[in-house]
């Protein structure tokens, strides 16, 4: 069963979104990572959503640049949570993608995270937190990972202060 779908609007977004897939893999969350476009392949996008929902998909993560309509197109076709990752792909420095992703009409929300790789990671963590609402073992994995983040900062502080 695929729990999370990661859609990228262009193969050029692959490296930017790879950290999203990596986090989901580390947490043991089954996911699909594929390319589909709101504009160039709308029929493929719609079929993917339908098929994935039938397979039990619970969260959709969509990354796109420029007009960045992919997350909105997905949100229009599902009531599952949709998380949008705006991608810096134009001379506007990602502002176009950010605004296109965050400015959704009432009733069709897209939870928007940061641009690019930071957003990719946080989209995976947010998807995991959504799934953890009904999965105590996943919740425990998230808690353990956060403890590791804390330990990493404390170790870095000791090293920087010369107390390693």
The pLDDT of residue 74 is: 98
Do 50 and 64 meet the contact criterion of CB atoms below 8 Å apart? no
Res 77 pLDDT > 90: yes
The pLDDT of residue 157 is: 97
Question: Do 139 and 129 belong to one domain?
Answer: no
Element (H, E) at 20: helix 14-26
The pLDDT of residue 163 is: 82
Question: Do 40 and 111 belong to one domain?
Answer: yes
Question: Do 83 and 110 belong to one domain?
Answer: yes
Once rounded to an integer, what is the mean pLDDT over residues 20-31? 98
Domain around 21: 4-133
Strand residues in 43-146 grouped as ranges (E): 59-65, 82-87, 111-112
Do 3 and 17 meet the contact criterion of CB atoms below 8 Å apart? no
Question: Do 103 and 162 belong to one domain?
Answer: no
- Which CATH number does the domain housing residue 113 bear? 3.40.50.1970
Question: Do 74 and 110 belong to one domain?
Answer: yes
Question: Do 110 and 155 belong to one domain?
Answer: no
Once rounded to an integer, what is the mean pLDDT over residues 28-40? 97
Question: Do 117 and 152 belong to one domain?
Answer: no
End-to-end CA distance of the chain: 45
What pLDDT digit, counting tens, does each position of 92-148 carry? 999 999 999 999 999 999 999 999 999 999 999 999 999 999 999 999 999 999 999
164: pLDDT confidence band, cut at 50, 70 and 90?
Answer: confident
Alpha carbon 148 to its chain's center: 21
Question: Do 113 and 63 belong to one domain?
Answer: yes
Question: Do 65 and 82 belong to one domain?
Answer: yes
Q: What percent of the chain has pLDDT over 90?
A: 98
Res 34 pLDDT > 90: yes
Question: Do 78 and 31 belong to one domain?
Answer: yes
Question: Do 101 and 152 belong to one domain?
Answer: no
pTM of structure: 0.96
The pLDDT of residue 94 is: 95
Q: Is 145 exposed, middle or buried (0-12, 13-18, 19+ CB in 10 A)?
A: middle
Number of domains in the chain: 2
Res 57 pLDDT > 80: yes
């Amino acid at each position: 069963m695929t729990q999370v779908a990661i859609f990228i609007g262009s193969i050029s977004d692959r490296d930017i979104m790879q950290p999203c897939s990596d986090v989901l893999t580390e947490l043991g969350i089954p996911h699909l990572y594929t390319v589909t476009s709101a504009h160039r392949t709308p029929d493929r996008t719609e079929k993917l959503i339908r098929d994935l929902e039938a397979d039990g998909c619970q969260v959709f993560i969509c990354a796109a640049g420029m007009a960045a309509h992919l997350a909105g197109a997905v949100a229009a076709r599902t009531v599952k949570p949709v998380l949008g990752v705006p991608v810096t792909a134009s001379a506007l420095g990602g502002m176009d993608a950010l605004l296109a992703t965050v400015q959704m009409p009432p009733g069709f929300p897209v939870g928007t995270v940061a641009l690019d790789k930071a957003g990719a990671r946080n989209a995976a963590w947010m998807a995991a937190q959504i799934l953890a609402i009904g999965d105590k073992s996943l919740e425990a994995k998230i808690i353990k990972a956060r403890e590791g983040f804390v330990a990493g900062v404390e170790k870095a502080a000791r090293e920087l202060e010369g107390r390693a």
